[in-house]
Amino acid sequence: MKLLARFLGWASILAFPCYLTMKAYQEALAALAVRIFEIAGAPARVGVDLHEPFSLGLYAAMCLASRNAPRHIRMRAVAIGVPALAAFGLLAVLVFVVANRLTTGHAGGNEGAASRFIESTLETVPWVSAPALWLALLGRWELPAGVLRPDRPPRERRRR
Amino acid sequence: MAQTEGTTRRSRTVFGFIGRFLAAWMAGLAILAMVPGVERWAIRATIESLGIAAHMLRVECAVSGAYVKLGGVNLEIITDCTPVMPTLALWGAMLAFPAPAKWKLGGIGIGGTMLWVYNLARILALALVLRFHPTWFEFVHVYLWQTLTLLVVLVMFVSWIRLLRVG
């Protein structure tokens, strides 16, 4: 729980710069996606309306809140993870456009199930990518030993 | 050598959990996409719950379709205003975690209920901010939705694991 309390503190501090850079970051993400599509010979108009770069702030907060991992491991996790998440966000936008074009012919999709699934997946990328990456890079230090081991059964209740 | 084997084994276990969680997550998103009635129900139920909560708190509330007027502030309730996504995240994590079925069912039921209540509190707080400090609304909206909601989901999941290990 102390880890989560530290996470809340760091996340609250980092929320401000994330909010202040939100518009510029999303415009840059869209511009980069447009450029990539132009280079690929498939121009597209792309607008990004995700809560980014909040996932980068969340991830950094989780790393900074971690105490069990050695300092150099935590710093390495931040140095690797933040750009990786940014790149993953760009990839998600590109996949969103390509997947919609393949399923509906339109970069923005339509009201069909396939488009809804693609849109939901894109919108939830920030939700899952930060905790998942933290778990992958720092989980083995921060989680108690054996907490995720499937062969360890819960303690049996004492029978009266 | 034993330490390396232990670290490798723990890494495999972590990645196994992440893989199962992602599978559950994608399955949940697929169900939501194929059954749009779920989101429509969640929006209706959120609006009705807001009405009940407003009545209990003696706050003025008027409903018109997907719009709710809370304390003089107009809010449009869309899918993002429902706890569907954080609930999906919590349920996915609980289903991916190695635990007896009845613990998972209990966690899913109680966790889903607690997230519903949290979401109502979040919307009421946002209405307050919009009423008294509208310039803060956008920041608080993103902060509450992303940061605090993720923290609430993590606290619930960690608490459930702790109860599981004690029980």
Helices (H), B57-147: 84-96, 101-132, 137-142
Q: Starting at the earlier edge strand, list the strands of the sheet with B73-76.
A: B61-64, B67-70, B73-76
Tokens matching residue A88: 């993953």
Across the interface, of A8, A143, A154, the residue whose CB is closest to B151 is A8
A139 in contact with chain B, both atoms CB, cutoff 8 A:
yes
Q: Dihedrals φ, ψ of A47, to 5°?
A: -120, 140
Confirm whether A96 is domain-assigned: yes
Calculate mean pLDDT across residues B111-126.
94
B128: burial class by Cβ within 10 Å (0-12, 13-18, 19+)?
middle
Instruction: Give the model's pLDDT for residue B88.
Output: 92
Nearest residue of chain A to residue B37 (CA atoms): A113
Is the pTM higher than 0.90? The answer reads no
> Is A8 inside any structural domain?
yes
Q: Do B33 and A8 touch (CB under 8 A)?
A: no
CA B104 to chain centre: 16
**pLDDT of the residue at B38:** 92
Long-range contacts of range B100-107, CB-CB < 8 Å, 24 or more positions apart? B100/A154, B103/A154, B103/B160, B103/B164, B103/B167, B107/B160
Range of the domain at A33: 2-140
A160 falls within a domain: no
Angle between helices B84-96 and A113-142 (to 10 degrees): 50
The CA angle A75-B157-A128, to the nearest 5 degrees, is 55
B interface test, pick of A88, A117, A120 with most B CB neighbours within 10 Å: A120
In this model, does residue B112 exceed pLDDT 70?
yes
In a domain, A127, yes or no: yes
**ipTM of the modeled complex:** 0.74
Q: Do A154 and B103 touch (CB under 8 A)?
A: yes
Q: Distance, in angstroms, between B48 CA and closest chain A CA?
A: 24
Residue A75, domain member (yes or no): yes
Q: Is the pLDDT at B3 greater than 60, yes or no? A: no
Helices (H) and strands (E) in chain B, counts: 6, 3
Say if residue B72 is exposed, middle or buried (CB neighbours under 10 Å; 0-12, 13-18, 19+): exposed
Whole-angstrom Cα distance, residue A69 to residue A66?
7
Q: What pLDDT does residue B90 have?
A: 94
Residue indicated by tokens 């929006």: B43
The two three-digit tokens of residue A20, written as one number: 């202040």
Residue A149 counted as domain residue: no
Residue ranges of A 25-84 with Cβ closer than 8 A to chain B: 51, 54-55, 57-58
Q: Is residue A159 part of a domain?
A: no
**What is residue B141's predicted lDDT score, i.e. its pLDDT?**
85
Please tell me which residue of chain B has the smallest CA distance to A16. Answer: B139
Tell me whether residue A157 is in a domain: no
pLDDT number for residue B53: 92
Q: How far is A116 from chain B (nearest CA, A)?
A: 5
Tell me the average pLDDT across B93-101: 92
Nearest to B73 by CA among B145, B128, B133: B128
Q: What is the pLDDT of residues B24-77, one digit of tens each?
A: 999 999 999 889 899 999 999 999 999 999 999 988 888 888 888 888 888 899
Q: How many domains does chain A have?
A: 1
Query: What chain B residue is nearest to A61 in terms of C-alpha separation?
Result: B147
Q: Indicate the SS3 state at residue B63.
A: strand
Mean pLDDT by 10 residues, chain A (160 residues): 84 89 90 89 76 88 89 93 91 84 69 79 79 86 61 45
